[in-house]
Copies of this chain bind each other. A is one copy, B any other.
């Protein structure tokens, strides 16, 4: 398919492998002055010299699929323009940084012959697929706890403004929310509460947050997100998930999955990972695989509700 990449501020790495069997029609910054160097380097490494456009609007007629990952507050309006032209959109999460953006995008999605899906790529990591596979072994779901812990490293300026960043909950905790919503399998969230620590020293980037939820079915879930992982830590992130059921507990730490049940504890063999973007392209061609638009909107909606709860709790 003909693919356009708008912006280099998100997880464009998800799409690189699939470029081998698709056509990259061009790349463009999503906001003026956005640095595309890393994206261009990653493409050059694969022998791809991308045509670069100054204005992403020029890509709308050329592309069948837009990969949108620019300054977070601009992802929704740009995705919307592609949807209006009936072009598929693989968008960075959250699908919008405000409720108004999300509502507008939902309308455009519903009116389009194409659709938008979010970059919820961790859902196809070996550890997550392994938990998903073994979920039936732990009985009825009762309690889920997710953790995202990141190094702060050097962040672009726009991370430090709520208006352009959106908040730690829609940007970081949303992954934990997505894992949880996926495993809940349709049991809707009934109540959400959250706390977050406000940014300091002129930054509006919240360095940590907790989100807590209860579903209609009475399942409890929580997500902890923080930017305090020391620079000396062996990996950039420390993703964890603990899933408690009536008959056992599944847990992932550092990519290793254990199952604790009546027979004791065992480390599970890992499933093969999948390519979230290739699944998306198959969905564009009519297959019912990968992340759905509905899931992408719902995860974003829950994340924005949690952020609002955290804002209100201050």
User: Is B263 in contact with A232, judged by CB distance below 8 angstroms?
Assistant: yes
Contact A212 B210 (CB under 8 A): yes
In the complex, A84→B25 CA distance in Å? 84
Q: Is B209 a contact of A212 with CB atoms below 8 Å?
A: no
Please name the residue on chain B nearest to A224 by beta carbon.
B145
- List chain B residues, Cβ under 8 A from A143: 197, 208, 210, 224, 226, 228
Binds B, one of A75-83, A121-129, A244-252, A272-280: A244-252
Q: Which residues from B are CB-within-8-Å of A261?
A: 230, 232
Which B residues are in CB contact (< 8 Å) with A219? 197
CA distance A210 to B220 in the complex (A): 7
Copies of this protein in the assembly total 2
Among B191, B222, B228, B263, the residue within 8 A (CB) of A249 is B228
Instruction: Check B214 against A226 for contact (C-beta < 8 Å).
Output: no
**Bound form: Cα–Cα A231–B263 in Å:** 8
* A40 contacts across to B, CB distance below 8 A: none
Per-residue interface assignment for chain A, residues 150 to 162, with 1 indicating a CB less than 8 Å from any chain B CB and 0 otherwise: 0000000000000
Is the Cβ of A198 less than 8 Å from the Cβ of B224?
no
A132 part of interface (Cβ distance < 8 Å): no
1/0 contact string of A227-258 vs chain B (CB within 8 Å):
01111111000000000111111000000000
Tell me if A214 and B313 are in contact (CB < 8 A).
yes
Q: Which of A259-286 contact B (CB under 8 A)?
A: 260-265
Tell me if B262 and A230 are in contact (CB < 8 A): yes
**Distance in Å: Cβ of A206 to nearest Cβ of chain B:** 10
Given contacts A210-B212, A228-B249, contact A218 B198 (CB under 8 A): yes
Q: Quick one: which of A187-209 are within 8 Å of B by CB?
A: 191, 193-198, 207-209
* A208 pairs with B230, CB closer than 8 A: no
Known: A195-B214, A232-B263, A262-B232. A244 touches B142 (CB 8 A): no
The distance in angstroms between the C-alpha atoms of A143 and B208, with both chains bound, is: 7
Residue of B147, B220, B234, B263 near A197 (CB, 8 A) is: B220
Q: Hey, which chain B residues are within 8 Å of A210, CB to CB?
A: 143, 212, 220, 222
Q: Given A197-B142, A232-B262, A265-B234, does the pair A209, B220 have CB atoms closer than 8 Å?
A: yes
Footprint of B on A, CB under 8 Å?
A: 142-143, 145, 147, 149, 191, 193-198, 207-210, 212-214, 218-220, 222, 224, 226, 228-234, 244-249, 260-265, 313
Q: A210-B212, A234-B265 are in contact. List 8 more A-B contacts (CB 8 A).
A: A142-B207, A142-B226, A142-B228, A197-B218, A197-B219, A208-B220, A212-B222, A229-B260
